[in-house]
Structure formats: C-alpha cells, structure tokens
C-alpha cells in the first residue's frame, strides 16, 4: 500500500483529498465565518485609503504634468525671438501659434484656451479650443486681472496656478496656469493656459466605482469642485458642502476636510452608517505658486460591506458541497488528470534542457488549456530571447546597429575581405554643426534629427551594407564588395539625400541646411586624395588601412579633412 502511494500520483491525490482536505476545510470554514466580518472592515479601510490616495495622486499628477508641459512650451524660441527679431514678428507669431496648437493637441479633452500675453496686457496669440484667434479678436486689457499680476511674480520656469474662474471666452469654469517669459533679464510676457474644471469631474468618475461609493473634491471655501454622484454645472456657482439639510456628524467632518485634515471618520444618515476617508491634495507647489487648497474624500456606505459578508457565508456552504462531490469523483478523475500531467512534465524537462518539444494534449479541460498555455509560453520565451539578442546590437535612440556590434561586424568584414581578396570600404559620417542644432532647439528635436538621419542611411544603402551609430552624432557604414570609387559615389548620394531632406529649424543652421560630412577609406589602400583632388593644407600622407583599427582611423581622418574643407562634402574629393 505504501509503495503504491509512492508511485501513483492518482493515489496521492485521493489520499490528500480524503485524509487532509476535509479537516482543514471544516476548521477553515468555522474560522472564516467568525472572522470574515472583521476582515471585511479591514478591507473597507484599505478600500477607503486606496481610493482617496489614487484620486489625490491623479490630481497631483495633472498639476505637475500640465505645469511641466507649459514650461517646455515656453522654451520655444518663438516667444523670445518675437522681442529680439522685430523685423520678423509675423514669422515668430506663426511659430507661437504652432506651439499653442501643439499644447491643445496634448490635452484635447481638458485644455480650453492657451495664449501668449505681453507685459502690458496685450494678447499676441491665442487659441480657444481648436480655433486660433484673429488679430482683431485679441484682447489688450489682460493686465487688469489678479491672475495676470500674480503670474508675473513667479520666477522663470516656475508655474503659477490661480483659483478657478469663469472664462470670458468659453463661459465656463476653468483652472488658469501661467509661466513668465524672460527677455534680457526682464519678464516680458507670460504663456498662459486654462484647464476645464469639468475635466476633474470626469477624472474622478473614471477612478471611483459608483456601485461602491462616491467621492468629491472640495476647496478651502467649503465648495464642491467635483463630485461623482452630482452633476456640477460648467458655469454655475460651485455648490456649498454644508447646507441646512446636512447631518451634524457630516458637517463636522466637512470642517475637518476644509481645514486640511487627514483621516477616516464615520457618520450616520437615514438609519445607515457611512465611512469617509479624506486627505488634502498635495499639488507639490509652494503657496505662492498655487492659490488652490483642495481636499479629496471617498464615502462608502456600510450596507455595501454586509452584502459582501453574506456572499462569503453562502460561499462557504457551497465549498462544502463541492468538496463532497470531489471526494466521490476523485477515483475517476485521478487517472484522467495524471496522464496529461505526466506528458506535460516530460515536455517541461525538454524545455529545461534547451529543446523546443512538440507535444499535444487532446483534452479540452484545464490541463489541455495548461498545455496550450505552456506551449505558448515556450514560444514566447524563444521570441523574447531573439528580441533580447536584437536589443543587444541595436542603438536605443536611432534603431540602427550600436557601436559594439559595428566593431564586431567590421572585424568579420575585414577578415573576409582579406581572406577572399575582395574590396571593402568604410564611411564615417558626422552631422555638421549638430551641437548648434541641439543647443538651439533642444534634445527633443536633436534626437528626432538623429533618428531621421539614421533612417536615411538605412534606406540609401544596400541590404549587405551595415549602418551603425558610432557615437553622438557620428555614424559609420560598412560597404562590403565595394572599392573606394564606388564608396565615394554612395557617400555622395547619401549626402545629397540628407541635404534635400527637410528638418525642423534647419534654416537656422550655419549652412542654412542640416547637412553631413563623410569620410571614406578602403581596406588595403592608402587614403591619399584621389587623382586630381587637392589635399587639405598641412595634411600628412596616411598609411594603408590593413586592419579594422587602421581602417577606422583612415575613414575618421578623411572625415576630419571633410570638416576642415568646409563641411557638407565627401572626402577624398574626386
């Protein structure tokens, strides 16, 4: 009997269910029945805390993200160049409008208005919803408002958030924010936008399950700014939290919330108990940067708790009945279950050994589903390994090969070229004045330019060629089966293609275009200028490139010569 138990999974399953499952089940059922009520209340406190913290976090994140994007938008050169380059004001106004449209596109469901306002109160550009304002629609008296005056008190790259107001343009409640534009050390203007207060109502309703409870946002004046069980009008006065019908216990809780308190309290209304979790919204700003003092609260009725308690009680009875049925069917199920388990265990062993087994379980039950899931998992592991190998050789920014993979491939290409006595050329390319471009327009546009250049390299090379990011704005291209003459032709084609490609703000580059310089070298050949070409003044004759390192050095020196001879050229020059 003991040997039978040792060797039979079916017998072990039967013994486990008969002699082990029944006693723990009985003890667990009694324990669960008498402790589930307390557990429910502990879960209620967790639910209260989680909901109020999640809602507070979402609102806090909204303040941070909108403020961050407002500062980023204010750094667009169009806002400062409007004051510096007065001869081309129309051009910079056009660029300002593009930035305002971009801000609107980031927050299409919450940003009502954005505008650029001069220090004397004159609007220079504005967008309301998706409509840009004409010149005759711009206001000249914005400096009269309290918000405008306070916005000019904050420092550059700081954001001022004012209290909600009824917008004169949209006619509904908005939350204004602004950051100053500093020119020559003086605050010359502000970049300003308005977030619809209706967005906070929508945000709260997305977080809170209405079948469980309700939540609200309240300000320090005791007004509801958003509430999930109430429709707050977009242009009506915010409703007061405390009214003559408010229960005394709830009114006291409202006082704590408005005063910036934090905690969990209880009140009774119409014969039912309610639990309230509340805390202030941490907008993450100093008082001088944010006039808003909000709190968030979540309310849960006790009757929702006892409904779940009843469900647990009936669940325990159902579990007892199910176990009795399982005991009866154990013998018949054991054999049916253990056979596919053994097959699955055998397949698992093969996967552990690095194989990809082919097996099939014909049953459609859970074991069959597990087998299919296991097969899917094994295939996913294989795909993941392939993807990881790809990531190990790919540059994260440009998507082409990285420096390490380039070095490995160049070593292979050099060995193959020398062994079979076949030509091999290397191109080294560098974006001209890229630091100027990056400093003027920021890393976002700089990274986009690097990706575009890398894409153009890939599209204009053969399948056998290898393009890689060598470092920074420098790229390398390995051209197997290619002599120097053909390599120079390919390099010239790529140079012209990139010169013709439009890039944002390229007209501000020293050359008037975003261009590249390319140096070329051939394995086994010197890098003297080709016949008819003039070497750069002071250049020294270079030795032949006989290995990967000297080939890189030769191409790099040719690139240096291209830079020295005016950029936007290929060197050696034909």
For residue 558, give the nearest of 499, 446, 477 by alpha carbon. 477
Between CA 358 and CA 350 the distance in angstroms is 10
List the end-to-end C-alpha distance of the chain, in Å, as a whole number: 93
Between CA 409 and CA 338 the distance in angstroms is 51
Between CA 180 and CA 50 the distance in angstroms is 37
Q: What's the per-residue H, E or C state across 305-358?
A: HHHHHHHHHHHHHHHHHHHHHHHHHHHHHHHHHHHHHHHHHHHHHHHHCCCCCC
Q: What is the DSSP string of 197-253?
A: THHHHHHHHHHS-TTTEEEEEEETTSBEEEETTS---SSSPPPBS--TTS-HHHHHH
What would the two tokens of residue 408 be?
A: 């490995």
Between CA 174 and CA 113 the distance in angstroms is 9
Whether 308 sits among the annotated catalytic residues: the reply is no
Q: What is the DSSP string of 259-314?
A: TT--EEEEEEETTEEEEEEEEE----S-GGGB---EEEEEEEETHHHHHHHHHHHH
Range 39-63 burial, b when 16+ CB lie within 10 A, else e: ebeeebeebbeebbeebbebbbebb
Handedness of CA 204, 205, 207, 210 (dihedral sign): positive
Between CA 170 and CA 476 the distance in angstroms is 54
Q: What is the DSSP string of 71-113?
A: HHHHTSHHHHHHHH-GGGHHHHHHHHHHHHHHHHHHSTTTEEE
Note whether 473 and 431 are within 8 A (CB).
yes
What would the two tokens of residue 73 be?
A: 């938008």
Give helix then strand counts, H and E, for the chain.
14, 17
Which of 47, 113, 473, 522 is catalytic? The answer is: 473
Between CA 150 and CA 158 the distance in angstroms is 12
Catalytic residue set: 473
């Amino acid at each position: 009997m003991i040997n039978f138990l040792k060797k039979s999974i079916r017998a072990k399953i039967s013994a486990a269910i008969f002699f082990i499952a029944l006693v723990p089940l009985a003890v667990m059922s009694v324990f669960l029945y008498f402790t589930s009520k307390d557990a429910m209340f502990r879960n209620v406190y967790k639910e209260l805390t989680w909901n109020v913290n999640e809602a507070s976090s979402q609102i806090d994140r909204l303040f941070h993200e909108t403020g961050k994007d407002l500062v980023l938008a204010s750094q667009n050169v169009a806002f400062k160049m409007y004051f510096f380059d007065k001869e081309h004001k129309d051009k910079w106004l056009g660029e300002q409008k593009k930035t305002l449209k971009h801000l609107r596109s980031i927050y299409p469901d919450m940003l009502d208005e954005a505008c650029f306002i001069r220090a004397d109160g004159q609007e220079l550009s504005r967008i309301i919803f998706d409509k840009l304002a004409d010149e005759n629609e711009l206001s000249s008296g914005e400096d009269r408002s309290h918000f405008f005056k306070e916005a000019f008190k904050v420092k550059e790259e700081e954001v001022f958030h004012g209290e909600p107001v009824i917008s004169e343009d949209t006619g509904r409640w908005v939350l204004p924010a602004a950051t100053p534009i500093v020119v020559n050390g003086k605050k010359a203007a502000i970049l300003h936008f308005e977030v619809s207060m209706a967005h906070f109502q929508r945000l709260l309703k997305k977080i809170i399950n209405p079948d469980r409870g309700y939540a609200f946002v309240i300000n320090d004046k005791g007004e509801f700014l958003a509430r999930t069980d109430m429709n707050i009008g977009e242009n009506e006065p915010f409703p007061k939290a405390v009214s003559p019908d408010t229960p005394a216990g709830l009114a006291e809780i409202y006082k704590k919330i408005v005063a910036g308190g934090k905690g969990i309290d209880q009140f009774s209304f119409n014969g039912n108990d309610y639990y309230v979790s509340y805390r202030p919204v941490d907008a993450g700003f100093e008082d001088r940067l944010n006039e808003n003092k909000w709190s968030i609260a979540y309310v849960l009725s006790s009757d929702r708790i006892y409904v779940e308690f009843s469900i647990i009680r009936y669940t325990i009875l159902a579990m007892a009945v199910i176990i009795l049925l399982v005991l009866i069917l154990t013998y018949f199920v054991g054999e049916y279950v253990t056979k596919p388990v053994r097959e699955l265990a055998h397949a698992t062993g093969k996967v552990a050994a690095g194989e990809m087994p082919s097996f099939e379980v014909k049953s459609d039950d859970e074991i069959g589903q597990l087998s299919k899931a296991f097969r899917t998992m094994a295939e996913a592991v294989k795909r993941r390994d392939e993807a990881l190998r790809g990531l190990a050789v790919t540059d994260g920014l440009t998507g082409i090969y990285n420096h390490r993979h380039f070095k490995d491939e160049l070593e292979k290409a050099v060995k193959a070229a020398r062994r079979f006595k076949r030509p091999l050329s290397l191109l080294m390319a560098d974006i001209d004045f890229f630091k100027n471009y990056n400093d003027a327009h920021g890393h976002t546009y700089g990274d986009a330019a690097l990706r575009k250049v890398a894409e153009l390299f890939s599209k204009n090379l053969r399948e056998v060629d290898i393009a890689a990011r060598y470092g920074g704005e420098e790229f390398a291209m390995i051209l197997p089966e290619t002599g120097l003459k053909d390599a120079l032709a390919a390099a010239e084609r790529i140079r012209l293609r990139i010169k013709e490609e439009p890039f944002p703000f390229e007209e501000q580059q020293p050359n008037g275009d975003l261009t590249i310089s390319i140096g070329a070298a051939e394995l086994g050949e010197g890098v003297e200028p080709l016949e008819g070409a003039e070497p750069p003044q002071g250049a020294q004759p270079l030795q032949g490139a006989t290995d990967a390192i000297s080939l890189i050095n030769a191409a790099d020196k040719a690139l240096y010569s291209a830079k020295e001879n005016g950029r936007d050229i290929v060197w050696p020059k034909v």
